[in-house]
Amino acid sequence: MGDLMDVFGEQIINMGNLSEKADLVPRNLDVNRINGEALDKLPGQLRVYRSIDEVLNDQQCEYEYSGEFLNSLAPAGVPPHALRLKKKRL
């Protein structure tokens, strides 16, 4: 309950049964923003894990995409290029 209080404040006390509540957010961009704000409020050391953004073989590729472009992609179900985590947190 302490971590939830850190994120949501005193309003969580009056929310009744949390299992019956949900935040409905229409876009992944909004979900990522809300999750980032919640993570920033939690105590602990932030760790950032980045995806690999280089070609692993020397063969010429038919398609060449920049690392910036590949890192900007955010398909559903795939972690972001820079995954931000805190140990033993939400």
More confident residue, 73 or 4: 73
Phi, psi of 11 (to 5 degrees): -60, -20
pLDDT of res. 84: 93
Q: Are 6 and 41 in contact (CB under 8 A)?
A: yes
Q: Can you read off the two tokens belonging to residue 7?
A: 């994120």
Domains held by the chain: number: 1
More confident residue, 56 or 85: 85
Burial group, residue 32, by CB count within 10 angstroms (0-12, 13-18, 19+): middle
Domain that holds residue 7: 2-86
Cβ-proximal residues to 90 (8 Å cutoff; 6+ apart), any chain: 3, 7, 38, 39, 42
pTM for this prediction? 0.58
